[in-house]
Structure 1
Amino acid sequence: MINTNKKYVADFLNELSQAKIDEQIMSVLKTYLDGNIELKASSPFKPMQGCQEWISGLWGPLLKSFPDLQIQPYILLGGEYKETSCVSTTGNIIGTFSQDWLEIPKTDQPMWIRYAAHFVIENGKISKAWFFFDMLDVLRQAGFNFFPNRAIECVPPGPMTGDGVSLQDSDHEESKKSLELTANMLDGLGSYDGKSLESMGQERFWHEEKMMWYGPSGIGTTRGLKGFQKYHQVPFITAFPDRGITEKTDATQFAQFADGNYSCDFGFPAMYGTHLGDGWLGLKASGIKCYPRVVDFWRREGNKLVENWVFIDMIDMLGQLGIDVFGKLKSLRNG
């Protein structure tokens, strides 16, 4: 049976991808969005409300810089979180970078803008939306790499099984297995004793050899549990030894749900941590407590997780640590 909410969002993204002038975009937005839509996006975007601000604050400038853009989702999940209907998706926005965007200089070359989006659907309309863009990767593709890379930098692929977008209802028991496995894995991360990686017991949850972790630019992509630990986990817990999950209050934008053998965890912000250790992204410890915005997508095979697509609003997180990435870009461009 077709899942109504997933089809609704898939149709919305498809029609938005085809709309090329403001009038067409507005027609699409009015069809699918609540008139008072609340839109938040990763930095440097400010919160927006209503269809007109969606166009002027986000989509209009994006389309002007990438006039042939196409939205290409490779994961699209639907579910419920605390009686709220949600749809989350990730993939690439692909287009020719033909005009400067957010002061990033054009390349006149194809650009893969890695994105994630989370939607709340109420009364048959999208009432709230959040967008993540991997802005450090846009900068990387444009020729700017401000932070030393530990892992390999690439535009991550979609699921190896090619089944991340299904508009059908999923098997409830399979969804339950995915959600429980993800929740147990996250609980394991929270049991770190400050000394040994083994205290988290992640071998119970991941396929140790086949695991793929597709992180944000600045961190990169890793293979296998040992690769994940070496290139991401150890540097991160060294830098933020007190890291934890933010309290899920009404004021916190958060969702966690599963759809078949896929699951999603979203928070705006999702966690906290005090920057007490050196080395992460080549940075010296600042002692600043920050609250990263994060969204994860996982794919499960049997009783193990095998793929993980991770977004962190790196521009916002670095800004909390006192680092103005776009200021660095401006200074570099101005010589």
Structure 2
Amino acid sequence: MKNNFQHAKNVVRKYYESFDKASDSNLVHVLKEHTTKDYHWRGMHPFYEQYGAEAVVEIFWKPFRESFLPIQRREDMFFAGANDCDDGKTQWVVSVGNLLGLFDTDWLGIPSTGKMIFLRYAEFHRVEGNKIAETALFCDVLSVMDQAGHYPLPPMTGAAFIYPGPRTHDGLLFDEQEPKEAIKTMEVLNKMISDLDEINKSGNDKCPPELLARAWNEDMIWYGPTGIGASYTIERYQKQHQYPFRENLTDKVFNGHIARFAEGNYCGFFGWPNLTNKNKGGFLGLPKSDVEAEMRVVDIYRREGDKLAENWVYIDILYYLYQQGLDVLGRMREMKSK
């Protein structure tokens, strides 16, 4: 199992080494070299699902590179594992960090600044043999808008800044890891998910902090998506995210995950979508809506001892808003044209 994980990680590392150095004219060729013929790619709004190297480069990578060159991949976490969602039949690798570039050309209608910009990302890859068969790239477009001075939503309940990597600076798991540690990490993760399910079934939107403390360290850090922000300690996390989220959203339905895996002290998952819900009114400044809106979410965790210590979260908030009639990027393009 360890050797398989190392192979999968090497496949992704070789891909990054080639793709990040490739010229614009060679991107499709390099991506084809490292992906299967039926390559399936998922991206956040407005990129959505794409198939094949040509479409992925045309829809995402070409416009992004035109706006932000030169680009540095500043990786904070990198790990692999067997997918807990399909009993380990598939193997996944995830890279988490920032893509840094000079914002010299408008992107998605966001006015350029001529200054450096950090694009938060979490990129999942399913490896088959020597190729990448499937990718899910979550990136925080709202963070780019915020850094560029065009934040479009009400003030965040948490703090907004360029998030750091793990406190322990050990998130790059390039080498083999002890399998028993991954088992411990997955047990804590599944315990946390079970506790959340218990809260959902109880209907208690003001769950006591003691319930969270069963799986979380008291000094936990929750790095939420732009639009919500980051929180420190269980008490502030509940005040700044959990309670507003639970009190302002209703009819929550959990749809499961596509991939969920662990290696060492790290674990993560993503769904497409993870859950659906209705907005009672107030969440992200939105009015009440009867739309059963989808939430596509990524969670990356670091375990410390027998509890979770840090959590990096990505939510496709632009898509969540779009489903309820608020086209943030379209509105920005309209404002620019006036």
Q: CA deviation at 1:14?
A: 2.8
Query: Which residues in structure 2 correspond to 1:19-34 (within 5 Å)?
Result: 19-23=22-26, 25-34=27-36
1:200 Cα deviation from its structure 2 partner: 8.0
Amino acid across the alignment from 2:62: G
2:277 maps to amino acid: G
Distance 1:334 1:53 in 2: 28
Task: Output one character per residue of 1:77-100: Cα deviation in whole Å (capped at 9) or x when no partner.
Answer: 211112111111211000001111
Q: Secondary structure at the match of 2:106?
A: coil
Q: Which residue of 2 aligns with 1:64?
A: 66
Name the CA distance, whole Å, in 1 between partners of 2:8 and 2:329: 36
Structure-2 separation of matches of 1:62 and 1:126: 21
1:237/1:243 contact within 8 Å kept: no
- 1:117-172 alpha-carbon deviations (Å, 9 max, x no partner): 11111132101111111011111111111112111111211111111111122211
Deviation larger for 227-236 or 13-22 = 13-22
- For 1:142 and 1:101, how far apart are their aligned partners in 2? 11
Contact 1:20 / 1:63 at 8 angstroms: preserved in 2? no
Report the Cα distance in structure 2 between the residues aligned to 1:41 and 1:303, rounded to whole angstroms: 33
Number of the residue aligned with 1:133: 139
Picking from 226, 230, 245, the partner of 1:236 is 245
CA RMSD of aligned residues (A): 1.6
**Cα separation, 1, equivalents of 2:197 and 2:317:** 22
Structure 1: give runs of 5+ residues left out of the alignment: none
Runs of 4+ in 1 over 4 A off after TM superposition: none
Unaligned runs of 5+ in 2: none
Aligned residue runs from structure 1 range 96-115, under 5 A: 96-115=102-121
Aligned 8 A contact 1:97 1:108 in 2: yes
Partner of 1:178: 185
**2:249–2:283 contact (8 Å) kept in structure 1:** no
- Measured in 1, the distance between the counterparts of 2:334 and 2:183 equals 50
Q: Percent identity?
A: 33
1:330 to 311, 329, 333: 333
Conserved 8 A contact 1:191-1:199: no
Match of 1:194 among 190, 200, 203: 203
Decide which of 76, 79, 101 is 2:78's aligned counterpart: 76
TM-score normalised by length of structure 1: 0.93
SS state at 2:61 partner:
helix
Instruction: Identify which range, 198-207 or 229-238, moves more after superposition.
Output: 198-207
* Matched length: 327
